[in-house]
Chain A
Amino acid sequence: MGFQPIKFYQTGTYTVGNRLLSPDQRSVQAAESRSNSINSGHRACQGCGEALGARYAIDAAMAESHNRLIAVNATGCLEVFSTPYPESSWQVPWIHSVFGNAPAVATGIAAAMKVKGKTDVRVVAQGGDGGTTDIGFGCLSGMFERNDDVLYICYDNQAYMNTGVQRSSATPPAARTATTMPVGPEPGNPFGQGKNLPEIAMAHGIPYVATATVADLRDLEYKVRRAMRMRGARYIHLFVPCPLGWGTASHDTIRIARLAKESGLFPVFEAEHGEVRSVLKIRRKVRVEEYLMPQKRFAHLFGSHPHPEMVIRIQEIADRNIRKYGLLDEEEAA
């Protein structure tokens, strides 16, 4: 009898296949009981980070709430691609009202559940970065401040993708969008602008704030389940690459998300009552170029008329994040 070597196809990803785990350790997605909250057949683009993130997030919320969940959706890609009338991908009760009011609609549903004594029914509101950091910001802040019993998930793809890639207050510096074109002396989105919504959420002192990326789906599931075990206003800011808007290959969505985290540009952490409680450390630090170069929205920083000074400023942002959140293990940081 010869020796049969076992192939680990996922070498280099740090991901352990579910087959090697005991059933109680398996992910929600790997569980037979997963709810398929957002069914197949929707109209998201190939490689859509938001579709992937929403599926994992809502299935995890369903698992934690024992399928007693109501979802609210702001206007945006997720709303449009999941519910072209008369079709709907949603296997959970779902409502879309307008662009800027998802947190308030969710507050109303949570109030209705409370008044009817159905406290087992939980409420999740979701929106893109435009619906969250810009037009829905007032309603979101109100929902946070009142500590309404709602988990809000922001799927951040860093621009208004549904309307054709326009700048939002979550668009990073230097990024090309349809309204921040790569022309003029400082091409792309200006430096020194934008909102850090996870930190703004933390400033409200709400029970739970977390960030996550679609590169670490176990981490996302954990954070959603954790959030669902709490009451009051909770916020998860999920980094979801957009192949269409960023000019990346559909098969690179996970890789780009991982590079955002590994470069320090997108800090992944959890906070309770305004206090950071844990961070996901950088495992293999990369320079920002490695994250920026595969994306056409940053193409003007490289190539024949490069802007190395802008790349340096972006690296400074990453380094600040690394220091601020302690994203590197101490020996590596030293």
Chain B
Amino acid sequence: MLKQIEGSKAVAEAVALCRPEVICAYPISPQTHIVEALGEMVKSERLAPCEYINVESEFAAMSVSIGASAAGARAYTATASQGLLFMTEAVYNAAGLGLPIVMTVANRAIGAPINIWNDHSDSLSQRDSGWMQLFAENNQEAVDLHIQAFRLAEELSMPIMVCMDGYILTHAFERVDIPSQEEVDAYLPSFEPRQVLDPSEPISIGAMVGPEAFMEVKYLAHAKQMQAIERIPQLASEFRSAFGRESGGLVRTYRMEDAETVIVAMGSVIGTIKDVVDEMRDEGHRIGVLTIVSYRPFPLEQVRGALQHCKRFLVLEKSLAVGMGGIVATDVRMAVTGAGLRGYTAIAGLGGRPIFKAQLHQLFSQAEKDELPQVTFLDLDWEAVNRQQERERQTRRSGPVAENILHDKGIVSAKFG
């Protein structure tokens, strides 16, 4: 059913259609609207049977989810940013125990300085946690990925983060097709846990494992994600047959025919990139787009396959590996090792810095001419950076960095535009 609906509300609807049995809620922007909407559904008994638990922290949110999932219940929670970091120990534990929890990450920057706006630093910090990570391009895909995520997670007994850009998607009103309960029920079978806490058949879960078996346990987690590389496209194609639209998969390509330059990215910025690429195609540029939907598992072969006929690629990412450069770019470069391609990295949109078409147009043109350095920081105010560095050279007690820069820019409170 078509609805004009906020992204968070649409995701809440999708999650409810997946019949979660335990939902843990802890408020953190920009995820909060999702759990608020689910709370109302449970309270009004529209979503039943379901236990909705207002926990005291994100660490508890993940821990309650672990208990619920180990006891055989379909468990869901949502978080972002600091909240994801606060639950990190339990995040790794859920994956280690092979519990198929689904969690929405409304991607948001990590402080300090504290910042509530969108980038991908939060979920990317958990890339080695053993969770799968699927990135939505728009709210329709966010809805669809949740439905696919429960199916994939439970099939493999591995948890999944469905990542959607904070505010840009969570707070955007868009037209979204919300499927019917019958359609979702037909696609998503009920949860049959691989191991369960049951007094009739007692088992011990989470025993200590020493060097004699730890490597094998970890390898098996890796092997499951390799299995997901096979299953994700199959589930996406099944989804297309059942729901009549393209959503999910490992990667997606756009205007890649005879492309010499390929822009690689994840999440909602793909929309802006496609617009720029359309314009440049109209101007005769041979440029295309590669969207990474599945960040974990990372589809090395599919990325290589998509890029192997181009001359160069530019990874535009909303994340920064401090002291190194790009995070996604590192994986992409690994995928094309030995292919003889020129690769560039653009760090963009950190902490919600808007990414404009004009900037991208210029960036892509420079890439085409191989005029870019290895790593570009899009829209970085070099003057502000230089002034702060100079200040630090001059004075030992040079003051708080963020406040100095805001002062230099004459900004009292953050504003965009």
Interface residue ranges, A against B (CB under 8 Å): 67-70, 72-73, 79-80, 83-86, 88, 90-98, 100-101, 104-117, 121, 138-139, 141-142, 145-146
Q: How many contacting A-B pairs (Cβ < 8 A)?
A: 158
B60 touches A92 (CB 8 A): no
A70 touches B64 (CB 8 A): no
Complex-state Cα separation, A146 to B354, whole angstroms: 41
Can you report 30 A-B residue pairs in the complex whose CB atoms are below 8 A from each other? A83-B208, A85-B209, A86-B207, A93-B199, A93-B202, A93-B205, A94-B202, A95-B204, A95-B205, A96-B205, A96-B207, A97-B66, A97-B90, A97-B206, A98-B93, A101-B59, A101-B60, A104-B55, A106-B67, A107-B53, A108-B24, A108-B70, A109-B67, A111-B51, A112-B67, A115-B73, A138-B56, A138-B59, A142-B57, A146-B53
Interface residue ranges, B against A (CB under 8 Å): 21-22, 24, 49-51, 53-57, 59-60, 63-73, 75, 89-90, 93, 97, 197-199, 201-210, 213
Complex-state Cα separation, A101 to B89, whole angstroms: 10
B197 touches A95 (CB 8 A): yes
Q: Which 5 A-B pairs have the closest CB atoms?
A: A108-B67, A142-B56, A104-B63, A101-B63, A112-B71
A93 proximity list for chain B (CB < 8 A): 197-199, 201-205
Closest-CB distance, A277 to chain B (whole angstroms): 28
A105 touches B66 (CB 8 A): yes
A84 proximity list for chain B (CB < 8 A): 207-208, 210
B72 touches A112 (CB 8 A): yes
Given A68-B199, A80-B208, A97-B97: A138 and B60 within 8 A (CB)? yes
B67 touches A96 (CB 8 A): no
Complex-state Cα separation, A97 to B101, whole angstroms: 14
Q: Which of B60, B66, B90, B204 contacts A142 (CB 8 A)?
A: B60
Closest-CB distance, B411 to chain A (whole angstroms): 36
B197 touches A109 (CB 8 A): yes
B199 touches A108 (CB 8 A): no
- Report the nearest B residue to A73, measured CB to CB: B206
Closest-CB distance, B195 to chain A (whole angstroms): 10
B199 proximity list for chain A (CB < 8 A): 67-70, 92-93, 121
A105 touches B209 (CB 8 A): no
A138 proximity list for chain B (CB < 8 A): 56-57, 59-60
Given A93-B198, A141-B56: A105 and B64 within 8 A (CB)? yes
A108 proximity list for chain B (CB < 8 A): 22, 24, 53, 63-71, 73, 75
- Report the nearest B residue to A70, measured CB to CB: B197
Closest-CB distance, A69 to chain B (whole angstroms): 6
B67 touches A116 (CB 8 A): no
A85 touches B70 (CB 8 A): no
B56 touches A116 (CB 8 A): no
Complex-state Cα separation, A111 to B67, whole angstroms: 9
A70 proximity list for chain B (CB < 8 A): 71, 197, 199
A112 touches B21 (CB 8 A): yes
Q: Which of B54, B60, B205 contacts A139 (CB 8 A)?
A: B60
A98 proximity list for chain B (CB < 8 A): 63, 89-90, 93
Closest-CB distance, B63 to chain A (whole angstroms): 3
Q: Other than the known A104-B55, A108-B67, A111-B22, what 5 A-B pairs have Cβ atoms closer than 8 Å?
A: A83-B204, A85-B209, A96-B206, A98-B89, A139-B57
Complex-state Cα separation, A110 to B206, whole angstroms: 18
Given A108-B68, A113-B71, A146-B54: A79 and B204 within 8 A (CB)? no
B67 touches A92 (CB 8 A): no
Q: Which of A109, A115, A121, A145 contacts B50 (CB 8 A)?
A: A115
A101 proximity list for chain B (CB < 8 A): 59-60, 63, 66, 89-90
Closest-CB distance, B200 to chain A (whole angstroms): 9
Complex-state Cα separation, A146 to B65, whole angstroms: 16
Closest-CB distance, B235 to chain A (whole angstroms): 26
B202 touches A115 (CB 8 A): no
A90 touches B51 (CB 8 A): no
